[in-house]
């Protein structure tokens, strides 16, 4: 059945400007956008099929292309170390607790609820090395009706014994998740070798084979921290750079691939990212908190490299992709102070990263063009709009000042999601 929603519609078909339709109608059928017009009749809808949101804003829902579900308990704590000791001291001990399914359920339920609360309808999530808890997380997304690429983490070295898997376990777990969720329209498995230091060459090789065998996308971490990069150089002396190491294992664009951070990627590594159509998950909150650095996002965009935004909790301290947009803009302004040849990110660019650009890993997601899946948020900014701001400034104020209390409806693939 065709339905229409009426509101002030804002989205970014292209990164350089917003499409704004004041008092527009958007028609949705079978979960997808049919078109936008000024009246429902022009869209083949009866006036009685229109849901009128009045003076509210209607925008695409947020996409979080890099998040660690089992780090939820550590949100907002343990910010005193850089990446490698942070993993060893805070992150691995917490992830080990997900062997306990009751604990996993309690925490994962809160995590999924919090994503929803913050307006994120799709995410690419790392779980832990545990099959059962990962399966549970997929079930929770499925139950909620939200979209997720969920990765059972692969790791077998330089970590506590409790988080170490065998090659046979890795292969069997992958087959089990493909069996359970291989054909789901919203929740799907993604191959997730944690990063080169956590995986033996044999495991990396297996991950590459399994991704190709099952046609699974891949997610991992790349060039986040200088200490990590040194370590990878010593572990993979025959590779030209960190990205080349993944590439040699078939984990770098042989299937659709998300690489988180890329703070220090440049030169040949950047060229390989472009050639292999890697999606960079830019996680500015995490990069600030773990003192990793500032990723050269403008240089990536200029080079034609795809970029989306990630919360990377609990390296990042907020699940809000709106907050993350603001940090992305601020980080790019700090970059600009060092290199005036590269302009900083604009609001429309940050919005586009969080919606259409990041959404591309989930299919036709993140825009309101015809054929796009209708993932949307309705924003009631009446308490922020006390002086009749123009529509674009209303959106800007919501992004900078607003929070989940302003999000009054959430849609994923055409369905209203209420948790
Ligand atoms: N690199 C490997 N594992 C992790 C992780 O859990 N968080 C971050 N930020 N980087 C990583
Ligand atoms: Fe991460």
- The model's pLDDT over 27-80, given as tens digits with 9 standing for 90+, comes to 999 999 999 999 888 998 888 889 999 999 999 999 999 999 999 999 999 999
Domains of the chain and CATH, by start? 3-61+366-416 (2.30.40.10), 62-362 (3.20.20.140)
Distance 86 CA to ligand 1 centre (A): 9
pLDDT value of position 154: 98
pLDDT at 145 over 90: yes
Neighbours of 144 (CB within 10 A): 21
pLDDT band at 245 (very low <50, low <70, confident <90, very high): very high
Ligand 1 pocket, mutate which of 64, 66, 68 (most atoms under 8 A from CB): 68
Euclidean distance between CA atoms 126 and 128, whole angstroms: 7
Please give all residues whose beta carbon lies within 6 A of any atom in ligand 1, as ranges. 68, 83, 87, 91, 194-195, 221, 224, 286, 312, 315
* pLDDT confidence bin for 271, thresholds 50/70/90: very high
pLDDT of residue 337: 87
Distance 226 CA to ligand 2 centre (A): 15
Ligand nearest to the CA of 95: 1
d(CA 375, CA 359): 10
- The ligand 1 atom at the shortest distance from the C-alpha of residue 283 is 9
412 alpha carbon – ligand 1 mean position (Å): 28
- 2 CA from centroid of ligand 2 (Å): 40
Q: What is the pLDDT of residues 149-208, one digit of tens each?
A: 999 999 999 999 999 999 999 999 999 999 999 999 999 999 999 999 999 999 999 999
Which of ligand 1's atoms lies nearest the C-alpha of 290?
A: 9
What does the pLDDT read at residue 338? 86
- pLDDT of 13 reads 98
The rounded Å distance from CA 381 to ligand 2 centre is 32
144 closest CA partner among 127, 128, 122: 122
Best substitution site from 92, 163, 195 to test ligand 1's pocket, by max atoms within 8 Å of Cβ? 195
* Ligand 1 mean position, distance from CA 125 (Å): 12
pLDDT of residue 47: 84
| Mutation pick for ligand 1 pocket among 91, 194, 204, 221 (CB with most ligand atoms within 8 Å) | 221
Q: What is the pLDDT of residue 46?
A: 86
User: Looking at ligand 1, which atom is closest to the CA of residue 198?
Assistant: 2
pLDDT, tens digit, 9 for 90 and up, residues 339-377: 888 999 999 999 999 999 999 999 999 999 999 999 999
pLDDT digits (tens, 9 = 90+) for 323-333: 999 999 999 99
d(CA 363, ligand 1 centre) in Å = 25
Please tell me the predicted confidence (pLDDT) of residue 48: 86
**Confidence at residue 241, expressed as pLDDT on a 0 to 100 scale:** 98
- 83-93: pLDDT as tens digits: 999 999 999 99
Helix/strand/coil (H, E, C) string of 220-242?
EEECCCHHHHHHHHHHCCCCCCH
| Average predicted confidence (pLDDT) for the chain | 97
SS3 for 77-103, per residue? CCCCCCHHHHHHHHHHHHHHHHHCHHH
Token pair of 257 as six digits: 């691939």
φ, ψ of residue 119 to 5 degrees: the values are 85, 15
Tokens coding 97:
């607790």
């Amino acid at each position: 059945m065709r339905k229409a929603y009426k509101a002030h519609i804002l989205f970014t078909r292209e990164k350089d400007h917003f499409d704004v339709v004041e008092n527009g109608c958007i028609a949705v059928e079978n979960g997808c956008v049919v078109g936008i017009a000024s009246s429902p009749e022009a869209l083949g809808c009866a006036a009685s099929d229109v849901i009128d949101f009045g003076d509210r804003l209607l925008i695409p829902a947020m996409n979080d292309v890099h998040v660690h579900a089992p780090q939820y308990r550590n949100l907002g704590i343990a910010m005193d170390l850089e990446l490698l000791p942070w993993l060893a001291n805070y992150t691995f001990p917490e992830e080990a607790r997900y062997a306990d399914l009751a604990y996993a359920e309690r925490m994962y339920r809160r995590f999924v609820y919090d994503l929803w609360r913050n307006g994120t309808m799709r995410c690419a999530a790392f779980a832990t090395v545990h099959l059962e808890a990962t399966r549970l997380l997929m079930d929770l997304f499925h139950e909620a009706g939200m979209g997720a690429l969920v990765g059972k983490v692969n790791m077998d070295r330089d970590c506590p014994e409790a988080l170490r898997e065998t090659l046979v376990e890795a292969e069997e777990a992958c087959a089990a998740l493909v069996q359970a969720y291989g054909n789901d329209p919203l929740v799907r498995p993604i191959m997730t070798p944690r990063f080169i230091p956590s995986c033996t060459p044999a495991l990396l090789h297996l991950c590459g084979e399994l991704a190709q065998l099952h046609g699974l996308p891949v997610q991992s971490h790349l060039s986040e921290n200088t200490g990590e990069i040194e370590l990878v150089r010593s572990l993979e002396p025959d590779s030209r750079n960190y990205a080349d190491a993944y590439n040699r294992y078939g984990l770098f664009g042989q299937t659709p691939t998300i690489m988180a951070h890329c703070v220090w990627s440049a030169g040949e590594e950047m060229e390989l990212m472009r050639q292999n159509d890697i999606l960079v998950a830019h996680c500015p909150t995490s990069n600030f908190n773990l003192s990793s650095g500032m990723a050269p996002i403008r240089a990536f965009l200029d080079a034609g490299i795809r970029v989306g935004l990630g919360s990377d909790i609990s390296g990042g301290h907020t699940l809000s992709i709106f907050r993350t947009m603001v940090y992305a803009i601020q980080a790019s302004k700090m970059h600009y102070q060092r290199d005036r040849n590269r302009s900083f990110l604009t609001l429309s660019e940050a919005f586009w990263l969080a919606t259409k650009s990041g959404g591309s890993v989930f299919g036709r997601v993140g825009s309101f063009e015809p054929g796009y899946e209708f993932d949307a948020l309705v924003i009631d900014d009446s308490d922020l709009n006390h002086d009749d701001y123009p529509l674009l400034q209303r959106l800007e104020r919501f992004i900078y000042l607003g929070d989940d209390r302003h999000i009054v409806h959430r849609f994923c693939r055409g369905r209203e999601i209420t948790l």
